[in-house]
Amino acid sequence: MNPHALITDPEQIRTVETIRRVDDEGYLYHMDCTYDYYDIPQQFMSMFYPGCSAFITRNLEGDVLYCRNYDYSHYPANQKKNLRTGINVVMECRNPNAKYRSLGVADAFWLDYKTGSLYKGTADDGSTDVSTFVLCPYISMDGMNEKGLAICILALSVECEWQEIPFDSYREKLDENKTNFFFEEAGEEPNPYLKRAGQGSVAVNEKDGKAWIASQRYIQTKKEGKQTLPHTVMMRHILDKCATTEEAVAFAGMCNVMGTMPGADYHIFVADKSGDARVLEWVGDDMTVTKIDHVTNHYVSKHDPFGDECGRDECIKAGLFRTAKAGMREDFLMNLLGLIIQDPTNGTDNGKTQYTCIYNLTKGTLKIFSYGDLSRSWDYSI
């Protein structure tokens, strides 16, 4: 049993003591959440900062399926010299003060993303303090409630502002854990839409003797009279309180959203068991709602300079088009999910598929596959 020295509430202690490894490697865990997570100690709320694909279809029996690859690259201690890792938690949430029960999956790495201390195998290593796992309901990357409403979060790219720095200082600014750029042609300069650039990235043009460093803005909407929530906290309230996409859109419309670090921007894909699916996006201070059956990592309500040639988006669109009328066979569904898995070993993918899940919104079940391996799955139900 791992220590949990930072919590004293009996129900929170009971919950973290239900953490059990699901797979053999320690990428996937299960936790039974029965405490009131609306009453989390305030000191914990500063400890977390929350590439993907998702689509909705029907099987041959007519069940509504909400399908999702959660893609993100994590590294132990946040050092890219280490092998990619993951640590994800399947949660059964039965908050006594929530309207509905839910199933969801949290990416527990985000509980201590600053130091990268939570990774494969640490949730049951006997020494890592798991007190912060009581925050897992607030970092659900996706989930489904007992009414057949499902929701997930997908990252969006944010443009960079490049500031020129003294050329002879760029080496001290280089961080091997950032994506940096070295131009070979005279006159080349960084533009705001360089893919994979982020806060602290450095660009260098040796021929011109110039260098730049990137910064990104905080994303936040600021409509008067609305409560402000991080995206995943808003998702938790939607899972706990909403039965349909219409209700989810109405709740989201009452909120401002905020990214929790520079360059953190997201959109939300929500669907219900009727088959209705919407993408929620925030442009300026306004929320947009788009009726669509699939989504990846670029805006759908406006032109996105980062969205050109998204192969995953084209794969999903083609697969859904060919099966829209009759429903999708299970083997075709698995093939489609496999095509859009991100595998960094192929030299072109930027992320890593942490897990793949299929929520059956009609039957209230979850099938989950861990770390890009579609040969083995685990099943849960509400």
Any residues with CB less than 8 A from the CB of 17 and at least 6 apart, and which? 1, 4
pLDDT over 90 percentage in the chain: 87
pLDDT band at 49 (very low <50, low <70, confident <90, very high): very low
**Residue of 153, 176, 146 lying closest to 239 (CA atoms):** 146
Please indicate, yes or no, whether residues 114 and 136 belong to a single structural domain of this protein: yes
Residue 285 lies inside a defined structural domain of this protein: no
Of 200, 215, 230, which residue is a domain's last?
215
What pLDDT score does 47 carry? 45
Please indicate, yes or no, whether residues 123 and 170 belong to a single structural domain of this protein: no
pLDDT band at 50 (very low <50, low <70, confident <90, very high): very low
Instruction: Assign 134 to helix, strand or coil.
Output: helix
Residue 244 lies inside a defined structural domain of this protein: no
Please indicate, yes or no, whether residues 341 and 362 belong to a single structural domain of this protein: yes
Residue 59 lies inside a defined structural domain of this protein: yes
Query: What is the distance between the alpha carbons of residues 172 and 58, in angstroms, rounded to a whole number?
Result: 54
Query: What is the distance between the alpha carbons of residues 299 and 297, in angstroms, rounded to a whole number?
Result: 7
Mean pLDDT of 257-285: 95
Instruction: Assign 326 to helix, strand or coil.
Output: coil
pLDDT digits (tens, 9 = 90+) for 51-63: 799 999 999 999 9
Angle at CA of residue 135, ends 365 and 237, nearest 5° = 60
What pLDDT score does 53 carry? 94
Please indicate, yes or no, whether residues 28 and 149 belong to a single structural domain of this protein: yes
Residue 249 lies inside a defined structural domain of this protein: no
Token code pair at residue 68: 């999702």
Domain of residue 43: give its range: 10-156+290-299+320-381
Any residues with CB less than 8 A from the CB of 346 and at least 6 apart, and which? none
Mean pLDDT of 183-196: 94
Cut 0.75: pTM above it: yes
Please indicate, yes or no, whether residues 115 and 198 belong to a single structural domain of this protein: no
What pLDDT score does 159 carry? 96
Residue 310 lies inside a defined structural domain of this protein: no
pLDDT greater than 90 at residue 322: no
Residue 64 lies inside a defined structural domain of this protein: yes
Phi first, then psi, for residue 362 (nearest 5°) are -80, -45
Please indicate, yes or no, whether residues 24 and 118 belong to a single structural domain of this protein: yes
What pLDDT score does 48 carry? 45
Residue 138 lies inside a defined structural domain of this protein: yes
Q: Among the listed ranges 100-109, 296-305, 345-354, which one has the minimum average pLDDT value?
A: 345-354
pLDDT band at 343 (very low <50, low <70, confident <90, very high): confident
Residue 245 lies inside a defined structural domain of this protein: no
**Residue of 56, 49, 53, 51 lying closest to 270 (CA atoms):** 56
Q: Taking the chain, what is the end-to-end CA distance rounded to the nearest angstrom? A: 26
Mean pLDDT of 176-182: 94
Query: Considering its fold, how many domains does the chain have in total?
Result: 2
Mean pLDDT of 153-172: 96
Please indicate, yes or no, whether residues 355 and 342 belong to a single structural domain of this protein: yes
What pLDDT score does 309 carry? 63
pLDDT band at 1 (very low <50, low <70, confident <90, very high): confident
Please indicate, yes or no, whether residues 94 and 209 belong to a single structural domain of this protein: no
Please indicate, yes or no, whether residues 197 and 83 belong to a single structural domain of this protein: no
What pLDDT score does 347 carry? 59
Please indicate, yes or no, whether residues 100 and 190 belong to a single structural domain of this protein: no
Please indicate, yes or no, whether residues 143 and 15 belong to a single structural domain of this protein: yes
Of 215, 236, 253, which residue is a domain's last?
215
Please indicate, yes or no, whether residues 142 and 22 belong to a single structural domain of this protein: yes
